[in-house]
Amino acid sequence: MKKIKVAIVGTGFIGPAHLEALRRLPNIEVTGLCEVNIDLAREKAAMLGIPNAYTFDEMLQQKDIDAVHICTPNFLHHSQSKAALLAGKHVICEKPLATKIEEAEELVSLAKEKGLVNAVHFNLRYYPMVRQMKNMRENGELGDVYSIMGSYLQDWLFLQTDYNWRLEPDKSGDSRAIADIGSHLLDLTEYVTGLKITEVMADFSTVHKTRLKPLKAIETYSGKMLQAEDYQEVPINTEDHATVMLRFDNGNKGSVTVSQVNAGRKNRLNIEIAGSKANFEWCSERPNEMWIGKRETANHHLMKDPSLFSSEAAALISFPGGHNEGFPDTSKQMFKEVYAAIKEGKQPEKPTFPTFEDGLRELIICERIIESHRKQAWVKI
């Protein structure tokens, strides 16, 4: 079969994660890599075993490249996705889709006009247990949704010396914790429950009003420490922690807490959904199990096992029960669906994967949350 040829733009933490997932799928070949300059692109291409290094503009001119993965800092997502669509390439973009609502709206419109496959990397939908929760809710096993409690906690910005481009609003946008990890939690909340958030009430806090920015380059999550003279003190204007109350279109309520300064929480998304028949709880640090709460019978503990799952959830499982699957598998399973559409050459009428429209939805929610914090008031979506 003809291989689908792919280019990856950006090689921070997430670019190599996309690469690893793509290499686990048949009939896909990552042939090109782009970085901020050609020298770095060549260095990274050699390191990652990718045959061709390009500048971004050079990559767009390669007629054999079918799809582009945008894995760059947030402020580049709009311009690079737009350029790739105009060049006739299918686009898989990291979240957020853009840093402004009007930019995301332009991308949604352009992708529809071109008929090209478009996806946003909300990969956490692709834990098999998340799909199973969604299917169980659709089958009536949860009942009416009473309330939702969610949290996404990390500690990678716990210290004043922890630093990353996401701390700079000109690169990441006006929100950090909500836009970076809160968007995953909010997307998951609407995806699993089938409800829409209608109003938000938010309160942010910035724990470190200043941070020590390294004068030398260090990689995200590397844990490397520099000497005192290697830092410059800079002001911080985005949130380390956020709490958001939610109202849903069924009239009921929820809340989410997002933090990047919780010691010991490496990457912990937790969601608990209270329904009229049961209570579902799932945690990303224990992704292969789910707690099901009952009032009148014993509680249940469901472990990942394709023989016990719905057919839709079982399709996201590659190994038998008892063989754990985790974060790297979510991208593989998402890209499997995306590239089935790319093989057909067009966006499906009803995509199963998160699209630019989903990216726009999360950007709108995020902007309303920022507005709510600034006004200290409820804001409608």
pLDDT, tens digit (0-9, with 9 covering 90-100), for 228-260: 678 899 999 999 999 999 999 999 999 999 999
**Count of CB atoms situated within 10 Å of the CB of 180:** 23
Which two structure tokens, joined as six digits, stand for 122? 């909300």
Among candidates 111, 106, 70, which has minimal Cα distance to 88?
111
Give CA separation, 17 vs 7, 10, 177, in Å: 13, 11, 21
Q: Is the pLDDT at 220 greater than 60, yes or no?
A: no
Q: Measured between alpha carbons, how far is 276 from 143 in angstroms, rounded to an integer? A: 5
pLDDT confidence of residue 93: 98
Q: Is 360 exposed, middle or buried (0-12, 13-18, 19+ CB in 10 A)?
A: buried
Give CA separation, 109 vs 27, 100, 102, 172, in Å: 30, 15, 11, 23
CB 62 within 8 A of CB 37: no
Q: Is the pLDDT at 221 greater than 70, yes or no?
A: no
pLDDT confidence of residue 222: 56
Q: Measured between alpha carbons, how far is 73 from 78 in angstroms, rounded to an integer? A: 10
pLDDT confidence of residue 361: 98
Query: What's the CA angle centered on 351, arms 349 and 355, to 5 degrees?
Result: 110
pLDDT confidence of residue 225: 63
Q: Which domains, ranges and CATH numbers included, belong to the chain?
A: 4-116 (3.40.50.720), 126-380 (3.30.360.10)
pLDDT, tens digit (0-9, with 9 covering 90-100), for 156-192: 999 999 998 899 988 888 899 999 999 999 999 999 9
Within 8 A by CB and 6+ apart from 66, the residues are 4, 5, 6, 89, 90, 342
- Tokens 């005192």 belong to 228
Q: Is the pLDDT at 70 greater than 90, yes or no?
A: yes
| Mean pLDDT computed over 109-118 | 98
What's the chain look like in SS3? CCCEEEEEECCCCHHHHHHHHHCCCCCEEEEEEECCCHHHHHHHHHHHCCCEEECHHHHHCCCCCCEEEECCCHHHHHHHHHHHHHCCCEEEECCCCCCCHHHHHHHHHHHHHHCCCEEECCHHHHCHHHHHHHHHHHCCCCCCEEEEEEEEECCCCCCCCCCCHHHCHHHHCCCCHHHHHHHHHHHHHHHHHCCCEEEEEEEEECCCCEEEEECCCCCCCCCCCCCHHHEEEEECCCCCEEEEEEEECCCCEEEEEEECCCCCCCCEEEEEEEECCCEEEEECCCCCEEEEECCCCCCEEEECCHHHCCHHHHCCCCCCCCCCCCHHHHHHHHHHHHHHHHHHCCCCCCCCCCCHHHHHHHHHHHHHHHHHHHHCCCEEC
pLDDT, tens digit (0-9, with 9 covering 90-100), for 11-48: 999 999 999 999 999 999 999 999 999 999 999 999 99
Q: Is the pLDDT at 1 greater than 90, yes or no?
A: no
Name the pairing type of β-strands 67-70 and 4-9.
parallel
Q: Measured between alpha carbons, how far is 288 from 171 in angstroms, rounded to an integer? A: 35
Mean confidence (pLDDT) of the chain: 95
Portion of the chain with pLDDT greater than 70, in percent: 97
Among candidates 280, 281, 298, 299, which has minimal Cα distance to 141?
280
Q: Is 147 exposed, middle or buried (0-12, 13-18, 19+ CB in 10 A)?
A: middle
Among candidates 295, 296, 340, 345, which has minimal Cα distance to 315?
340
| Mean pLDDT computed over 73-86 | 97
pLDDT confidence of residue 224: 61
